[in-house]
Amino acid sequence: MSPTKTPAETLDVDGHEVRVTSPDRVVFPEPGLTKLDLVRYYLSVADGALRGAGGRPMVLKRFAKGLGQEPFFQKRVPDNHPAFVDTATLHYASGTSAEETVLRDAAGLAWVVNLGCLDLNPHPVRAEDLDHPDELRVDLDPMPGVDWAQIVDVAFIAREVLEDHGLVGWPKTSGSRGLHILVRIRPEWGFADVRLAAETLAREVENRAPGLATARWWKEERGESVFVDFNQNAKDRTVASAYSIRPLPDARVSTPLTWDEVRDRRPEAFTVLTVPERFASLGDPHAGIDDAAGSLEGLLALATEMGPTEKPPRGSDGSGRRASTMPLIEVARTKTKPEALEALETWRQRHPESAAQLHPADVLVDGMRGSSSLWYRVRVNLQHVPEEERPAQEKLIADYDPWAGRS
């Protein structure tokens, strides 16, 4: 979203004036979508988008410099926010707090898009009760090499586990490669219990689908499986909510589905250009989600029955840090993903024989949350390289410090 001289345009959104600066600025070059196009998209699906994000404190993920640059995460609501934008103060485990944005209406949606937000990232709580989540989030995150059919198989097993414990799952595309299943719950449990229930669900899905799904937290141990990411239910986590635009070249949308659609529809079919017509003709498949709040008692009882998870071994260097069971080496730490992929390619060229033996899931390029933006860590799991042929840990090809200059 680079500077432009296009005059601002003021919209009347349900009686509120929303000023859209640089309305003709092209945000998605491939489909030719402008900033004003994105505002109009959100207004066309406002009822569904607010069902997912409305009334919840949210982190503003702002692409101030366009899709080619990493976004920055803004917890605190801008000082000059309009009166129709509400706020709520969240307290974090670190001891910090932030007065965060709470959207209540379509005008609020238009306002955050004007700030450079593409996707909406709400917390799983309502502004009226910040200590008791009313949503459990099941994030099905496929490892490299996993196809859509495997993701779908895991989704139906997760649905089965939820139903066996008195809960209703509402599926949506993540807007990337995976699936989300949202579960409304009564706001009677704290974050620790909700996370425990989500972890228990993940463990049970893994038990019912060994090899297809995993609840292993450490990425190098997952193999080519679908990770049931229970940690998205931690207090400080947010996920892209329903009808969010994702920062992919085709302007893909995180789209609610019916269970009948899950097996046959693919994420790439749902974009800013296609979803408004679908919404106008079919309505919102998640329209009944708020009437389906259930209890966590069943999953928490299963947690007691399963017992605690096995603790990872600790290193022998005195740091107390976990010791991986896999032969990992770290390649680089970078500010951007293109830099990370470039560093990985440099490593491959240095070690072509080892690189040729890697499986898709052995290459770990992870977006890590810094103080206000993502940075990237590149690691390689050498489990499929014979021990005597494994390259040693070398000096990092790039060594970006996301905390440099910060106290």
Can you give the pLDDT at residue 315? 56
> What backbone phi and psi angles, to 5 degrees, belong to 298?
-65, -45
Q: CA-to-CA distance for 109 and 283, rounded, in angstroms?
A: 19
Can you give the pLDDT at residue 407? 55
Would you place residue 314 in the very low, low, confident or very high pLDDT band (cuts 50, 70, 90)? low
The verdict on residue 369 lying in a domain is yes
pLDDT at 319 exceeding the cut of 60: no
Can you give the pLDDT at residue 57? 97
The verdict on residue 341 lying in a domain is yes
Would you place residue 67 in the very low, low, confident or very high pLDDT band (cuts 50, 70, 90)? confident
Can you give the pLDDT at residue 405? 65
Q: CA-to-CA distance for 46 and 327, rounded, in angstroms?
A: 48
* Mean of pLDDT over the chain: 91
Would you place residue 256 in the very low, low, confident or very high pLDDT band (cuts 50, 70, 90)? very high
What's the average model confidence in pLDDT over 258-280? 96
Which domain range does residue 352 map to? 328-389
The verdict on residue 373 lying in a domain is yes
What's the average model confidence in pLDDT over 166-183? 95
> What backbone phi and psi angles, to 5 degrees, belong to 367?
-80, 120
The verdict on residue 87 lying in a domain is no
pLDDT digits (tens, 9 = 90+) for 121-150: 999 999 999 999 999 999 999 998 899 999
Across the strands, what pairs with 334? 376
pLDDT at 2 exceeding the cut of 50: no
Of residues 155, 262, 170, the one with CA closest to residue 212 = 155
Window from 208-222, 253-267, 283-297, 315-329 with minimum mean pLDDT: 315-329
The number of distinct structural domains making up the chain is 1
The verdict on residue 225 lying in a domain is no
The verdict on residue 148 lying in a domain is no
The verdict on residue 27 lying in a domain is no
The verdict on residue 351 lying in a domain is yes
Would you place residue 404 in the very low, low, confident or very high pLDDT band (cuts 50, 70, 90)? confident
Can you give the pLDDT at residue 10? 95
